[in-house]
Structure 1
Amino acid sequence: MNKKIVIIGLGLTGISCVNFFLKKGLIPSIIDENDNLKLIKKIPSYIPYHLGSLKENWILNADLIILSPGISVFHPLLLKAKKKGIEIIGDIELFSRYNKTPVIAITGTNGKSTVVNMVSQIMKKNNFNIGIGGNIGYPVLDLLSYTRDFYILEISSFQLETIKKFKIYIALIINISQDHMDRYPLGIKQYRDIKLRIYKNASFCIYNTDNKLCYPKIFYKKKKYITFGTFIGKYKLSFCKKNTYLEVDNKKILNFNNTKLNGIHNYLNFLAVLAITDILKIPKKISLQEINNYKNMDHILQIIHKENGITWINDSKSTNINSTIAALKYLYKKKKIWLLLGGYDKNCELNLLIKYLKNKNNIHIYCFGISSKKILSLYNKSIKVQTMFEALKKIIKLVKYGDTVLLSPACSSIDQFKNFKHRGNEFIKLVKKLHKK
C-alpha cells in the first residue's frame, strides 16, 4: 500500500492517527495551521510536516486525507480536493473500518457527556467491559488496542461531517438546537443534516419527540426506532401534583423528585439513558438505582459555594443558547439571578436567548468576552465588563440573601480560556478568592 496519506490537524486526534498508521507500517505527512513547534515533539522526527497553513500541493496530491474535527470539511481547499476525487475521512470513519466491537454512539447539542457518563456507569455496574472515547477526550483509534464488549462514543457534529459507513449498534440524538453556526453557513438545516448522519448505519435509532429536528428523515423497516420525550414516547415524563415521574409504556417507574437530578433537561437525558440500557437488557433495578443516585457532573449546574443565603453556580458547560435557557428554567423560582454571559457566540442567534430574558425582572446580566458588545446591543440593561473577574467583583457587592449567581455563558470559552473546564475552574477560584476577603 503506497498511498499518500495526509493528516490535517495535530491535536490528540491527529497524534492518534499518526500512531495508527505507523503501527500499520505507513508513514503519513502532517499539516497543521498552528505554527507551534511544540506539537512536533510528539511525533517521530522522520515524519514530513508543514506548519502554519494548509499546504495546497500536499492536499491536492494526496490519496487519502484524514481530517481532525477542528478543521471544517467545507474549507475551500478541501472542497477542491473532494472534487478531484480524493477521499476525505476523519478518525471516526477510519476507526469504523477496523472495528469489530458493537458501538453505542451518542450525539446532540446538549447533554452528550452526561448521557455517556451515566450509560457507562450503569454498564459497568452490570459487568460490561467497555471503552469510552470520541469527543469526550479519548481518541477512538486508541480504543482498538483493547478488547471490549462495547464502545460508548460521544460524537460531535464536526466528527459526523466525515463519516461514510460508520456502523453503529445504538445511535442516539438527544436534542438539536442552534450551535456552531460559524461552521455551518447554511444554518440550522445544515447542522441538523450532519447530526442525522448518525442514524445512517445504526441498528437502533433513539430520538427525542420534543424536538422535531431529531426525527429521522426516512424510516427504514430494518431499523428499530425508539422514542423519548416530555409527553410523547415509549419513555416519557408524567406530572402529578408536584411530582415528576419517569414512565415506560405508560407505567410510572421512578419519581424524579426523590433523585439528586436538577431540571427537566436532565430528566429527558435519563429517559434516553434508560432507552439504551433497556436495549442492552440491563435489569431496570440496576439502571434506576444508578439514576436515583446520580449527581450532576462538574461544570453543569454545579453549586460551588453557599454563604449568607446566596448560592453560586458553575454552569460553564453551557456553551450555547439552549443550554443556558435550560439552566434559567431550572432556577426560575429564584428570587434574583445574577447571570454571567459571554465568550465566543459561534454566530448563533443570541436574540433567541435575550427574547427569553426580557420578560424576567429578576435576572441581571453581566456580559464579557467577544460577544459582550452583541449582548449589550440586544439587551441594553446588560452591564458590559472586560472579564469574568470584573463582573464578580461588582456582583459580590450587590447580592443579597436568597440571590443566585450563575455562570451560564451561552457561548464557547475560546476567546479568553482554553476550554469550558478552564473557564469553570477559574470561576470557582475567583469565587473562593472573593469570599476569603
Structure 2
Amino acid sequence: MERRARSHLHGGHGIARARRGDGCAGAAHQHRSPDHRDRRPLRDRGQLGHPAGGVVPGVRQAGAAHGAAAPSLRAARLAGVHRHRALLDSRGAVRGLRAGPVLCRLHRPRGCGVNPLSRLPLPFGRAGVVGLGRSGAAAARLLAGAGIEVRVTEARDTPALAGVAAELATLGVVTELGGHGEGIAAWAEALVVSPGVPPANPLITAAVQRGIPVWSEIELAWRFASVPVLAVTGTNGKTTTTTLLASVLQAAGLDAVAAGNIGYPLVDAVEGSHDVIVCEVSSFQLAFSETFRPSIAIVLNVADDHYDWHAGYDDYLSAKARIGRVQTAEDLLIAGSADRGALSIAVGAPARPAAFGLGDLASVHAAARRLGRPLAAAAGVEGGRVVAEGSAGPASIVEVEKIRLVGPHNLENVLAASLAALEWGVEPEVIGAAVAAFSPLAHRSTLIGEIDGVRYIDDSKATNPHATLSALQGLERVVLIAGGRAKGLDLSPLAEHTHRLAGVVAMGEATAELESLFAGRVRIAAAAFVEEAVETAAAWAVPGDTVLLSPACSSLDQYTSYAERGERFAAAVGRLARAGVR
C-alpha cells in the first residue's frame, strides 16, 4: 500500500479560486509557478494512448540527488496508483489523503478532464428557486454561498418547510410559502426549478418569455463540479444502477458517491471531497439542462412514463436525450442494445458509443449496427458469466448465479454498471466481487418472505407498466397487486402477461381501468388499500405462487410515496406470518 500523490504530498497543490476554499479543492498543479507561461498545452496522444492532461509543470531547479537516478515511473509501469488517476497528472481536483494499493494496469479513462465551467462566475446575480424540497433547499444554499441573491417560492406551507425557510433566512434567502407569486419571475435573472415542476408552470412560462435561463438542479450543480460526473438515466433501473456503480467504484478505492435524483442532491455532492460522482438523472432534470456533460452517460431504457409532465413519448425521449447532447468524442455513452429508445439516443450523440445486452457480445454488436459506427465497448452474457470488451480488451467479470439482484431487468443493470466501471479503469475481478456483494435495494423486486409455500415480493417502485412487465418476467404463477395513479399511461401492455397471472387485485384510481382490462381474462377483485389487497391475494394463492406488489402506477393517490406503499405491504405480510395464515 502507498499513499496517493495529493495535497501536501509529492508537491501536489490546488490553486485557490472563487467559489472554493483553499487550494485543496482546486485544479491540480505542482508547486505554483510565478508565471503561467511555462505551462504550455500538450497535444493529444496517438492511437496507443489517451489524451494528455491540460498543462505541464513549470521548470524548477532540481534538488541534489541522494543516490542513483530512479527509473521512470512510466517506464516501470508505475505511473498510477491502483485504481486511481495518474500520479504525474491527475487532471482533477486535489483532495485529502488516502491509502491505496499499488501496481494497477496503466489505464486512465478518457473524457475526465476538469470542467471549465466550474471556474467561471455564474451569469446572473439574482436567482429564483421554484420548490423547497431537498434539492430546492440545497440549490438555494449553494447559490447564496456563491454570493447570488436568492428568493425561493413553494406552493406548500407546512411547519417543516417553515423550518427550512428559517434556516435559509440566516443565509439571506427570502422564501415565499403557500403559493407561487408572479413577482419572482419578473425579479429573477434566472430560475432554478426542482424536479417535478412542469414546463407549463406559470413561473417557467414567464421566465421563458423573458428569455432568462431556466435550470434544473443538475445544470446548476454542473457549473460547480470540479470532479468527473458519471450519469445514469432511463425509465427503470436508474437507482439500482447508480448505487451499484458507485459501490463498484468505492470497492476500487475511489471516493465515489451516488447523488442526484437518488436523494442526495447533486448540488450538495459537488461541494464534497469526492473523486467521482455517480449521478441519477431524471427526465425532469435533463429537460432543464444546457451544459451538463457527464464523462460517461448510461441510458438504460426509454418506455412510456410521466405523461402527466411530458407532452408524450417524443417529448419524453427528447428530454432523456439531453444526457448526451453536449458530450464529445472524449466521452462515452452506454445504451441498452435491446431498447429502441436508448439506441436512438446513442445514434444522435457525439460521444463514443457502447452497449450492453442479455445476449452474447456478438448479438450486442449486431443489435447496435443501427448506430452506423462500431461500438467502443460492449457487455453481455456468455457461458453463464457477465463478460465485456472495450479499451482494455476482453474481460470476464462475474458468474450470473452469484448476482443477488433478481430478474433479467436487474441483470441489465449489472451489465450497464459493470461496463461503465470497466471503462473507468476498474479491474474485472474488483467489479465482479462488488457486484456479487451487492444486495437489492428496498421496494425493487424484494422478497419479503414465504408463507405456506407462497412468496411475497415487494416491487412497489414499479410505477409504470414497463417496470411491472420486467418484474413479471421469469415468474410462473403470480397474484398481481396493481393500481394507483396511472399518470396518463396506457396500462394495456399488462394484459400481455395474463398467462402468468393467477389473479389481479386492483387498487387506487386505476381500479376501474384494471378491472376493464382483465375482466374475462383472469380472476380480478378490487381492494381499498394495500392491506386488503394482501388479504385477498393470500386467499387466492396456492403453494408455488408468488404474490407480487408491482403496481405499474404512482402511489400518490393514496400514499406519500412508493416507499410507504411498500412498507405497508411488508407489514401486512408480516401480520399474516405471525397469524400463521396464508
- From 108, 123, 130, give the equivalent of 1:8: 130
Q: Is structure 2 residue 177 aligned with structure 1 residue 33?
A: no
Q: Which amino acid aligns with 2:571?
A: K
Aligned to 2:406: 262
Aligned-partner Cα distance in 1 for 2:349–2:568: 50
Aligned-partner Cα distance in 2 for 1:315–1:210: 23
TM-score (norm 2): 0.70
Aligned to 2:264: 138
Equivalent residue runs for 1:71-110 within 5 Å: 71-110=197-236
Pick which of 270-279 and 389-398 moved more: 389-398
Aligned-partner Cα distance in 2 for 1:322–1:220: 24
Pick which of 286-295 and 251-260 moved more: 251-260
Q: Deviations over 1:301-347 (max 9, x none)?
A: 1111112211111111111111111111121xx3x311100111111
**Aligned-pair CA distance for 1:216:** 4.6
Assess, with a 3 A threshold, how the Cα gap between structure 1 residues 386 and 147 changes in structure 2: closer, same or farther. Answer: same
Aligned to 1:121: 247
Aligned to 2:287: 161
Equivalent residue runs for 1:389-408 within 5 Å: 389-408=531-550
Assess, with a 3 A threshold, how the Cα gap between structure 1 residues 217 and 304 changes in structure 2: closer, same or farther. Answer: closer
Q: Deviations over 1:279-304 (max 9, x none)?
A: 11111011112223333222111111
Aligned to 2:88: none
| Larger gyration radius, structure 1 or structure 2 | 2
Aligned to 2:386: 246
Q: Is structure 2 residue 416 aligned with structure 1 residue 276?
A: no
Aligned-partner Cα distance in 1 for 2:301–2:350: 24
Equivalent residue runs for 1:12-411 within 5 Å: 12-44=134-166, 45=169, 47-185=173-311, 187-202=312-327, 203-217=331-345, 223-230=351-358, 231-233=363-365, 234-238=377-381, 244-249=384-389, 254-331=398-475, 334=476, 336-354=477-495, 356-358=496-498, 360=499, 362-380=501-519, 381-411=523-553
Unmatched tracts of structure 1, length 5 or more: none
Q: Deviations over 1:222-263 (max 9, x none)?
A: 6311111233145344466xxx44232487654313433322
Unmatched tracts of structure 2, length 5 or more: 1-122, 366-376
- Give the SS at the match of 1:215: helix
User: Does structure 1 conserve the Cα–Cα contact (< 8 Å) formed by 2:144 and 2:173?
Assistant: no
Q: Which amino acid aligns with 1:193?
A: S
**Aligned-pair CA distance for 1:207:** 0.9
User: Does structure 1 conserve the Cα–Cα contact (< 8 Å) formed by 2:478 and 2:500?
Assistant: no
Q: Is structure 2 residue 575 aligned with structure 1 residue 433?
A: yes
**Aligned-pair CA distance for 1:21:** 2.2
Pick which of 40-49 and 304-313 moved more: 40-49
Assess, with a 3 A threshold, how the Cα gap between structure 1 residues 23 and 145 changes in structure 2: closer, same or farther. Answer: same
- Give the SS at the match of 2:540: coil
Assess, with a 3 A threshold, how the Cα gap between structure 1 residues 320 and 217 changes in structure 2: closer, same or farther. Answer: closer
Aligned-partner Cα distance in 1 for 2:128–2:294: 26
**Aligned-pair CA distance for 1:214:** 0.9
Aligned to 2:110: none
**Aligned-pair CA distance for 1:153:** 0.5
- Give the SS at the match of 2:278: strand
Aligned-partner Cα distance in 2 for 1:103–1:221: 17
Assess, with a 3 A threshold, how the Cα gap between structure 1 residues 63 and 288 changes in structure 2: closer, same or farther. Answer: same
Aligned-partner Cα distance in 2 for 1:261–1:10: 34
User: Does structure 1 conserve the Cα–Cα contact (< 8 Å) formed by 2:464 and 2:552?
Assistant: yes
- Give the SS at the match of 2:448: strand
Q: Which amino acid aligns with 2:412?
A: L
Q: Deviations over 1:116-163 (max 9, x none)?
A: 111111111111012321000011111233221101111111111111
Assess, with a 3 A threshold, how the Cα gap between structure 1 residues 109 and 127 changes in structure 2: closer, same or farther. Answer: same
Which fold has the larger relative contact order, with Cα–Cα distance below 8 Å and residues 6 or more apart in sequence? 1
User: Does structure 2 conserve the Cα–Cα contact (< 8 Å) formed by 1:342 and 1:410?
Assistant: yes
Assess, with a 3 A threshold, how the Cα gap between structure 1 residues 373 and 95 changes in structure 2: closer, same or farther. Answer: same
Assess, with a 3 A threshold, how the Cα gap between structure 1 residues 104 and 400 changes in structure 2: closer, same or farther. Answer: same
Q: Which amino acid aligns with 1:80?
A: A
Pick which of 90-99 and 33-42 moved more: 33-42
Aligned-partner Cα distance in 2 for 1:319–1:154: 17
Aligned to 2:108: none
Q: Deviations over 1:30-80 (max 9, x none)?
A: 111113353021123464333333212321332111111121123344223
Aligned-partner Cα distance in 2 for 1:121–1:82: 39
- Give the SS at the match of 2:307: coil
Cα-Cα RMSD: 2.2
Q: Which amino acid aligns with 2:145?
A: K
Q: Which amino acid aligns with 1:70?
A: G
Aligned-partner Cα distance in 2 for 1:261–1:145: 32
- Give the SS at the match of 2:318: helix
